[in-house]
Amino acid sequence: MRLVAILLLAAALAPLASSAHAQSPLVLNEILAGPARDWDASGTFSSRDDEWIELKNVTGSPLTLDGYFITDGDSIPRYALTGTLAPGGQLLVFGRESYDWERATGHPAFGFSLGNSGDQVILWHIAGPDTTVADAYAYRSHEAAADRAVGRTPDGGATWSLFDGLNLYTGSLIPGTTGCAPSPGAANLCNGTPTREATWGRVKALYRDGSGR
């Protein structure tokens, strides 16, 4: 019954989601909706499992994650967070983890199911009887092209930038090209001027260093 109530309330609140919720201690930090590589280092590429969402604790204190959950634009719970995140810490969640959580909790199992023609990622927070939108970002199709990510620059900041170093964007939509590579589990240091070649080996090394996997 509780999950049903959450789903219904989330659907009702979805129109209230916006791209910036500065009051939340936990924010969406980077999103990759269109994987074309083995981002989770499982040894096998999966368009479902290799989607990822990075979250960040923007406070100077440890943050309890219980009560936070993620949906896409349809507001169906896709993943519920647990545990504690260190001050300023990042949490990287892959589509495979979403799929496993859905199966374990009796939800239809699709993973994050992030649309490549545009979609919305919403972070919700349950506190007692209240379910509120903690953060949200609506992305467009050019942000969800193969191996492009979109994220806050700097980490936890108000500006969203396109990380298209693995698949350069030549159009005129905002956010525009930066030539910077996605940085799952590592700091979003892109300033719009790439300072090194964005090879897949370099990106994977950044990911391993940042996530500890």
CA dihedral 10, 16, 18, 22 (to 10 degrees): -90
Round to whole Å and give the CA distance between 71 and 69: 7
Tell me: the pLDDT tens digits for 79-101?
999 999 999 999 999 999 999 99
Quickly count: other Cβ atoms within 10 Å of residue 52's Cβ. Answer: 26
Q: What are the backbone dihedrals phi and psi of residue 69, each rounded to the nearest 5 degrees, phi first?
A: -145, 160
Q: Tokens standing for 22?
A: 């500065």
Helix (H, G, I), strand (E, B) or coil at 95: helix
Dihedral sign of CA atoms 114, 119, 123, 126 in order: negative
Claim: this prediction has a pTM higher than 0.75: yes
pLDDT digits over 185-202, tens only?
Answer: 999 988 654 434 444 454
User: Cα separations (Å) of 186 from 68, 174, 211?
Assistant: 22, 23, 7
How high is the pLDDT of residue 201? 53
CB within 8 Å of 57: residues ≥ 6 apart: 25, 26, 63, 85, 86, 87, 88, 89, 90, 91
What's the CA gap between 7 and 22, in Å, rounded?
Answer: 24
Question: Token digits for 166?
Answer: 């693995």
Q: Can you give the length of the chain in residues?
A: 213
Per-residue pLDDT of the chain (213 residues; tens, 9 = 90+): 444 444 444 444 444 444 445 579 999 999 999 999 999 999 999 999 999 999 999 999 999 999 999 999 888 899 999 999 999 999 999 999 999 999 999 999 999 999 999 999 999 999 888 899 999 999 999 999 999 999 999 999 999 999 999 999 999 999 999 999 999 999 998 865 443 444 445 455 544 444 444
Of 44, 34, 36, 30, give the one whose Cα is nearest residue 93.
Answer: 30
Domains assigned to the chain: 2-211 (2.60.40.1260)
Please give the pLDDT value at position 191: 67
Residue partners of 153: CB distance under 8 A and separation at least 6: 159, 160, 161, 188, 189, 190, 191
Q: Measured between alpha carbons, how far is 164 from 174 in angstroms, rounded to an integer?
A: 13
